[in-house]
Amino acid sequence: MNYISTRGSSKKCSASEAIVKGISDDGGLFVPSSFPILEGRFLEELLDLDYPSRAAKILALFLEDFSPAELEKYCRLAYSRFDGDPCPVVKIEDDLFVLELFGGPTCAFKDMALTLLPHLLAAAKKKLGIDDRTLVLTATSGDTGKAALEGFKDAEGISVLVFYPSEGVSKIQRVQMTSQQGGNVSVVGIKGNFDDAQRAVKSAFADENLRARLKKQGFELSSANSINLGRLIPQVAYYVSAYCDLANSGEIDMGEKINFAVPSGNFGNALACFYAYKMGLPINKIVVATNANNVLAQVFNDGIYNVKRVFYKTMSPSMDILVPSNFERLVFEVVGRDSEAVKELYLKLQTEGSFEIDAEALRAGVFEAGWADEEETKDAIFNYFDIDDYVFDTHTAVAASVYNEYSCETEDDTPTVIAATASPFKFAPSVLSALGIKEKDAFKAINKLQLATALECPYALSSLAHAEERFKDVISADEIEEAVLKFAIAQREEKE
Ligand X SMILES: *Cc1c(COP(=O)(O)O)cnc(C)c1O
Residues at the interface with ligand X (CB under 6 A): 108, 110, 143, 226, 263-270, 318-319, 395, 421-422
Cβ(75)–Cβ(56) below 8 Å: yes
> 210 or 380, CB closer to ligand X?
380
Q: In angstroms, what is the minimal distance from the CB of 423 to ligand X? A: 9
Q: In angstroms, what is the minimal distance from the CB of 336 to ligand X? A: 24
> 293 or 416, CB closer to ligand X?
293
Q: Where are the beta strands (DSSP E) in 239-278?
A: 258-263
Q: In angstroms, what is the minimal distance from the CB of 424 to ligand X? A: 11
Secondary element (H or E) of residue 208: helix 208-216
- Give the span between the Cα atoms of 488 and 17, in whole angstroms: 22
Q: In angstroms, what is the minimal distance from the CB of 296 to ligand X? A: 8
* Half-sphere exposure at residue 426, Cβ-oriented, CA atoms within 13 angstroms: 30
Give the Cβ contact number of residue 308 at 10 Å. 10
Q: In angstroms, what is the minimal distance from the CB of 485 to ligand X? A: 28
- Give the span between the Cα atoms of 178 and 317, in whole angstroms: 17
Q: Which residues pair with 83 in a beta bridge?
A: none
Cβ(402)–Cβ(437) below 8 Å: no
Q: In angstroms, what is the minimal distance from the CB of 174 to ligand X? A: 14
- Give the span between the Cα atoms of 94 and 107, in whole angstroms: 27
Q: Which residues of 123-151 are buried (b: 16+ CB within 10 A; e: fewer)?
A: bbbebeeeeebbbbbbbbbbbbbbbbbbb
> 9 or 263, CB closer to ligand X?
263
142: helix, strand or coil: coil
> 252 or 271, CB closer to ligand X?
271
Q: In angstroms, what is the minimal distance from the CB of 247 to ligand X? A: 25
Q: In angstroms, what is the minimal distance from the CB of 326 to ligand X? A: 7
> 166 or 421, CB closer to ligand X?
421
| Rounded CA Rg of the chain | 21
Q: How far is CA 117 from the centre of its chain?
A: 12
- Give the span between the Cα atoms of 224 and 160, in whole angstroms: 9
> 222 or 264, CB closer to ligand X?
264
> 49 or 90, CB closer to ligand X?
90
Tell how strand 304-306 and strand 354-356 pair up.
antiparallel
Q: Which residues pair with 222 in a beta bridge?
A: 136
> 16 or 198, CB closer to ligand X?
198
- Give the span between the Cα atoms of 172 and 429, in whole angstroms: 10
Q: Is the dihedral of CA 33, 34, 35, 37 positive or negative?
A: negative
Q: Where are the beta strands (DSSP E) in 166-209?
A: 185-190
Q: Where are the beta strands (DSSP E) in 245-330?
A: 258-263, 283-290, 304-306
344: helix, strand or coil: helix
> 214 or 369, CB closer to ligand X?
369
59: helix, strand or coil: helix
> 222 or 394, CB closer to ligand X?
394
Q: In angstroms, what is the minimal distance from the CB of 171 to ligand X? A: 15
Q: In angstroms, what is the minimal distance from the CB of 435 to ligand X? A: 18
> 127 or 171, CB closer to ligand X?
171
Q: In angstroms, what is the minimal distance from the CB of 140 to ligand X? A: 9
